[in-house]
Chain A
Amino acid sequence: MTKADIVETIYEKVGLSKRESARIVDMIFDIMKNKLEFGENVKISGFGSFSVRDKNARRGRNPQTGEEIIISSRRVLSFKPSNVLRKQINNF
Chain B
Amino acid sequence: MNKSEMIEELAVQADLNHKVAETIVNLVIDSMKSALIEGDRIELRGFGSFHIEEYQSYTGRNPKTGASIEVPPKKLPFFKAGKELKEKINNQFLDELNQE
Contacts and interface: CB of A to CB of B under 8 A. Distances in A.
A73 B10 CA distance: 34
Given A10-B27, A44-B2, A77-B89, 14 more contacts: A3-B44, A24-B10, A27-B10, A32-B47, A33-B47, A33-B85, A33-B88, A37-B89, A39-B89, A41-B1, A73-B97, A75-B90, A89-B77, A90-B74
A6 B32 contact: yes
A85 B24 CA distance: 19
A5 B31 contact: yes
Interface in A32-61: 32-33, 35-48, 50, 52, 54
B81 A2 contact: no
Contacts of A75: 89-90, 92-93
B48 to A, nearest CB: 8
Interface of A: 1-3, 5-6, 9-10, 13-14, 23-25, 27-29, 31-33, 35-48, 50, 52, 54, 73-79, 81, 85-86, 88-90
Given A29-B44, A32-B47, A88-B37, A47 B1 contact: no
Contacts of B96: 39
B37 A89 contact: yes
Interface residues of B, number: 49
B75 A89 contact: yes
A24 B48 CA distance: 18
Interface string B16-31: 1000100111011101
B3 interface: yes
B49 to A, nearest CB: 10
A89 B35 CA distance: 10
B41 interface: yes
